[in-house]
Amino acid sequence: MGVGHPECPERLVAIERALKRQGLWSELEHQAPEPIDVQWLKLAHTEDHLRRLAVPVPVGTFRHIDPDTCMNAQTYEAILLASGAVVQAIDAVMAGRTRHAFCAVRPPGHHAERGAAMGFCFVNHIAVGALYARQKYALERIAVIDFDVHHGNGTEDILANEEGLLMVSLFQQGIYPGSGTRPKGPNMGNVALPAGAGSREIHAMLEETWIPTLNAFEPQLLLISAGFDAHRDDPLAGLAFTEDDYAFITEALVAVADTFCPGRIVSSLEGGYNLDALGRSVAAHIAQLQR
Ligand SMILES: [Zn+2]
């Protein structure tokens, strides 16, 4: 995205470093992704949007989508690899090769709408994955959980009113992108949290809203838009989550998956811009997925 941009390559370095420091890295099975077949992206995006993304960007230049979102010569390939990682992970959990998978991908995806890139996002990897899983595996109940601090407007845009799909999300009220308070469909469970919300609010929200909603849905697959920018140290927002809160959320989602799926969780990185907090939070998330 350019020098000084918060959505930077060092984010993945910080995650790897934290996983190694905590002894998790060597215990995980690592898989390199293949680029996704563009045909699958058409489940979630318009042909016009995909055609615009595929126009080559000359080396050493940037193509700006909005003031915060731009492509360089490698961005398109990174997008295809990121979506490829998610569908590859879905294939792995559906085949029973693993119960849980985490995709450490960039750029993120949950702001990308059916026909528009925005907010550091170009293709909506989790929405693509949800529609891919519904079509390829004929699943009837897929749950998408989004705990990034920003509302997943793109995922809502693509999945609202789609049969067999439920989305629950939390976000900080009143910040970018400003959506979420009026859900676009009956399958959208959006929870707006006030600035400063932390452990107490998260525990209450999970117990009163998310978990009963997910249990009533009886999902056959859980897909997580895992943003870690609700952390109290994150520079882009004003919630007060800690690593323990990410562990708590993940543990609760694992329990849902164990009850209904069994297992079958694919989590994909979205936001998280304080490098130390991001590394520790992803490690807390993965430690619970690993159980
Ligand atoms: Zn975010």
Q: Are 81 and 257 in contact (CB under 8 A)?
A: no
Q: Measured in angstroms, how far is the CA atom of residue 9 from the centroid of ligand 1? A: 16
Q: Give the pLDDT confidence score for residue 235 in this predicted structure.
A: 96
Active-site residue among 49, 100, 110, 111?
A: 111
Which residues, 6+ apart, have CB-to-CB distance to 218 below 8 Å?
141, 260
In 3D space, the residue among 34, 13, 16 whose CA is nearest the CA of residue 25 turns out to be 16
Active site residue 111: yes
HSE at residue 38, side-chain half, CA atoms within 13 A, is 10
Q: Measured in angstroms, how far is the CA atom of residue 17 from the centroid of ligand 1? A: 21
Q: Measured in angstroms, how far is the CA atom of residue 270 from the centroid of ligand 1? A: 7
Q: Are 98 and 109 in contact (CB under 8 A)?
A: no
Q: Measured in angstroms, how far is the CA atom of residue 47 from the centroid of ligand 1? A: 26
Q: Measured in angstroms, how far is the CA atom of residue 150 from the centroid of ligand 1? A: 4
Q: Give the pLDDT confidence score for residue 73 in this predicted structure.
A: 96
Whether this model's pTM surpasses 0.95: yes
Q: Give the pLDDT confidence score for residue 67 in this predicted structure.
A: 85
Q: Are 160 and 184 in contact (CB under 8 A)?
A: yes
Q: Which residues surround ligand 1, an ion (CB under 5 A)?
A: 148, 150, 227, 229, 271
Q: Measured in angstroms, how far is the CA atom of residue 162 from the centroid of ligand 1? A: 24
pLDDT in tens, the chain (291 residues): 888 899 999 999 999 999 999 999 999 999 999 999 999 999 999 999 999 999 999 999 999 988 889 999 999 999 999 999 999 999 999 999 999 999 999 999 999 999 999 999 999 999 999 999 999 999 999 999 999 999 999 999 999 999 999 999 999 999 999 999 999 999 999 999 999 999 999 999 999 999 999 999 999 999 999 999 999 999 999 999 999 999 999 999 999 999 999 899 999 999 999 999 999 999 999 999 997
